[in-house]
C-alpha cells in the first residue's frame, strides 16, 4: 500500500512541476510580448514626434569648415532650404552633388546645407571636387557630434529635407534625388 501511495505522490509532484514550468513559460512569454509591444509603441511615438518636429526647420548647430558655428538663426527666411546628409564615399551622394553643380543657375532661390560627420578635410575635398565650395548659397557643415541622424531622422545616405521659403517641410527624401527632381518639388505648390 505504501508503494501505491509513493507512486501517487510522485505523480502529483511531477504534475505540480509541469504546472510550474508551464506557468513560468507563460509568464515569460507574456513578459516578452509586453516588452516588445511597449518598445514598438515607444518607437512609433518617437518617430511621430520627430516627424512633427521636422514640419518646420528644427533648431540645429553645426560647425562650418572654417570652424565657425552655423545654426538655424543664420538661415535666410526668404529662401528654400535643403539639407543634404551625405558621405563623400557614397556614389549616390556624388551623383547628387554633381547634378546640383551642373544646375547651379536654377538654384538661386535655394540655400543648400550639406551635412556630414566625416573629417573636415574630407568635407572640403568633396565641396571642391564638385565646385560647390565657392557658392554663396551652399554651406558645408561638419556634424562633429553626429547628431544630425537622430535629430533629423536620417536613416540613410543620402538623405534630403526640402523646406520652402517659410521653412515648412515639402519633402523628406531617403536616397538620391537629382537636381531636376528637386526643382520639380520646389515648383509644386
Q: Are residues 31 and 2 in the same domain?
A: yes
Q: Are residues 74 and 96 in the same domain?
A: yes
Strand-pair partners of 47: none
DSSP for 73-84, written as a single string: GGS-TTSEEEEE
Nearest Cα to Cα of residue 176 among 87, 93, 85, 89: 93
Q: Are residues 45 and 69 in the same domain?
A: no
Q: Are residues 65 and 28 in the same domain?
A: no
> What is the domain extent for residue 46?
1-53
Tens-of-pLDDT digits for all 189 residues of the chain? 557 677 667 777 777 778 788 888 888 888 888 878 777 776 766 777 777 788 999 999 999 999 999 999 999 988 999 999 999 999 999 999 999 999 999 999 999 999 999 999 999 999 999 999 999 999 999 999 999 998 899 989 999 999 999 999 999 999 999 999 999 999 865
Alpha helices in the chain (DSSP H): 2-53, 91-102, 120-129, 148-151, 179-187
Count structural domains, the chain: 2
Task: State the CATH number of the domain containing residue 174.
Answer: 3.40.30.10
Q: Are residues 34 and 95 in the same domain?
A: no
Q: Are residues 127 and 37 in the same domain?
A: no
**pTM, rounded to two decimals:** 0.76
Amino acid at each position: 500500500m505504501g508503494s501505491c501511495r509513493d507512486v501517487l505522490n510522485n505523480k502529483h509532484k511531477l504534475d505540480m512541476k509541469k504546472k510550474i514550468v508551464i506557468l513560468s513559460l507563460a509568464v515569460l512569454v507574456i513578459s516578452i510580448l509586453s516588452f516588445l509591444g511597449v518598445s514598438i509603441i515607444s518607437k512609433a511615438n518617437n518617430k511621430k514626434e520627430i516627424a512633427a518636429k521636422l514640419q518646420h526647420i528644427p533648431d540645429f548647430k553645426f560647425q562650418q569648415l572654417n570652424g565657425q558655428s552655423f545654426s538655424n538663426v543664420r538661415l535666410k527666411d526668404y529662401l528654400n532650404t535643403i539639407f543634404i546628409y551625405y558621405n563623400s564615399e557614397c556614389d549616390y551622394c556624388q551623383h547628387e552633388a554633381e547634378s546640383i553643380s551642373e544646375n547651379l543657375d536654377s538654384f538661386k532661390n535655394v540655400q543648400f546645407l550639406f551635412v556630414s560627420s566625416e573629417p573636415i578635410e574630407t568635407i572640403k575635398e568633396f565641396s571642391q571636387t564638385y565646385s560647390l565650395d565657392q557658392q554663396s548659397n551652399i554651406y558645408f557643415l561638419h556634424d562633429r557630434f553626429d547628431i544630425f541622424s537622430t535629430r533629423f531622422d536620417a536613416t540613410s545616405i543620402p538623405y534630403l529635407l526640402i523646406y520652402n521659403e517659410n521653412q515648412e517641410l515639402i519633402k523628406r527624401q531617403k536616397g538620391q534625388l537629382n537636381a531636376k527632381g528637386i526643382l520639380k518639388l520646389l515648383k509644386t505648390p
